[in-house]
Amino acid sequence: MTPDCNNPKHGEFNSTDRLSDLPDFIIHQIISYLRKEEAFRTSILSKRWNQIFATNSILDFYHYYNNKFTTEMIPRVLEYIDTRMQKFSKENLRMTKFKLALPANDLLLACKVDEWLEIALRNQVAEITLGGPTNYKLPHILFRAKLLKHLDCDNVEIPYYEAVDLVSLEYLNLRDVVLEERMLFHIISSCPNLKELVLKFCPGFKNLVIPRHSKLEDLYIEGHVPEDGGKVILETSSLRSFQYNTQGVNPWPIISNRGLLRNLRHLSVFGLSITGEDLAKLVPELTSLEKLKFIGCDMLSSIKISHTQLKHICLDHCDNLLNIVIDAPNLNKFKFDGDTEPSLSITIRSQANCNIHIHTYAWYFDTDGFIKLKKLLKGLNCCDVLKILFLRGSSKVS
């Protein structure tokens, strides 16, 4: 019997386009997992798919900000963005994400960006990513957006606004953003649901104060924040993760109360001016700490850590480190990466599965180097996996 090619029971090809039969909102969800270029290609499949692409709730214009666009092309790009935004405005279409970056800066463009942001907020946008032209000032309406959950800004200015009402905001990322320290304090204090705060190379702070907050869990600070001589002052006890990349200019932050960091589980610092004595005072206060990472902290010459909750310790290019003593019964991972072979003593539980990675860089490894290595290994109480990597120039010798 000849198989029926139209009957899927016979395992033959069925040409029915079941994907196109799905409701628009489900197809929008599927498209959201595609890359921007792939999502754009769906618009040429048919008139319906073109309409689906045009009404997709994710409006991503961030990729238009690159060096490939000539001055002559910019007006066409802006016209395309404006056409899509006006469609959402006229048809009152829901918008979940609005991402925008622009290659120019003038008064007319700033007014147009203000208009687009107003449309996005009016259409219930939950996430905004904005890489604006230099000196573009974020409008006041953006800080009264009660439905906004995610705000990511790069290379813009934030004036001081008295009224801030970002009651739903959970994530705030500011990179190269100019704002007063009182405005940042005001924003944090006015976002009761803020969970993650990222500050990268934001100039102008004499002191950076993180006020009391009930839900702020992740804090990342990078660059000269605050300016030389300024201080980072932590007043919140809700932090679970604190990453502090100071570019080697700042001391450890001021903690207004010794118990404020009792909930901290992950501490990562880069280039911090902290000594072994400072560390000895700090670690006992971090009673919930599980992961500790120090990178490029050259003032550390000796480390002595005793902690029952620590599971992961990483020491990366702390070039003056000569002596390491660790008593951490629950430690399961230790990594050392540097140019020297310090004296190392690690005490863990005998039944623990601890991975120890030691990466050392040397142009040659002589008898003295092996003596140091033997002393280092002798200080290890127990480990499940020990990996030692000698990097000689560009080659690896194990």
pLDDT the model gives residue 42: 59
User: Which residue stretches of the chain have pLDDT < 70?
Assistant: 1-55, 63-71, 103-107, 224-229, 247-251, 255-256, 258, 341, 349-353, 360-398
pLDDT the model gives residue 173: 97
pLDDT the model gives residue 109: 81
pLDDT the model gives residue 374: 62
Confirm if 77 and 69 have CB atoms less than 8 A apart: yes
Spatial separation of the C-alpha atoms in residues 164 and 185, rounded to whole Å? 11
Confirm if 216 and 240 have CB atoms less than 8 A apart: no
Query: What are the residues facing 176 on neighbouring strands?
Result: none
pLDDT the model gives residue 258: 64
* 98-153 pLDDT tens trace: 999 876 666 678 888 999 999 999 999 999 999 877 778 999 999 999 999 999 99
The reply to whether omega before 226 is within 30° of 0 (cis) is yes
